[in-house]
Amino acid sequence: AQSVTQLDSHVSVSEGTPVLLRCNYSSSYSPSLFWYVQHPNKGLQLLLKYTSAATLVKGINGFEAEFKKSETSFHLTKPSAHMSDAAEYFCVVSDGWFGNEKLTFGTGTRLTIIP
């Protein structure tokens, strides 16, 4: 069985300061991991994904995440927050393979940017 825990339901940072959104996962197999972003009244958009290649994954809008197997973590970071980053962020895990792919979503972290 797979699961994902987002450790913070709400994070507030000042514009221009670093962002850290924490995620821990549990998976029976080598997982694929994703971060999705959901802006208000908009659909989910993929930020980045890890699929057993490089452990440091770079995504869109300056975000990146590092897969740490020993810590079962996949934290999302950004060096400098922008007002447009305010949104809900979901950490997602899949240990599926061809023919059995299902995603398990975390409960989300709401990111607020303080001007």
Partner 1 sequence: GAGVSQSPSNKVTEKGKDVELRCDPISGHTALYWYRQSLGQGLEFLIYFQGNSAPDKSGLPSDRFSAERTGGSVSTLTIQRTQQEDSAVYLCASRPKPGGASGSRVPYNEQFFGPGTRLTVL
- What does the binding site for partner 1 look like in residue numbers (CB under 8 A)? 29-30, 32, 34, 36, 42-46, 49, 51-52, 90, 94, 96-99, 101-108
Nearer to partner 1, 36 or 74 (CB): 36
- Cα gap 26→4, rounded to integer Å: 6
Instruction: State the nearest-atom distance from the C-beta of 100 to partner 1, in Å.
Output: 8
- Cβ neighbors of 71 (< 8 A, separation 6 or more) are 24
Closest approach, Cβ 90 to partner 1, in A, equals: 6
| Minimum CB distance to partner 1 smaller for 5 or for 18 | 5
How far apart are CB 113 and partner 1 at their closest, in Å? 21
Q: Which residues pair with 64 in a beta bridge?
A: 58, 77
Instruction: Tell me the β-bridge partners of 36.
Output: 46, 90
- How long is the chain? 115
Nearer to partner 1, 67 or 108 (CB): 108
C-alpha 75/C-alpha 36 separation (Å) is 12
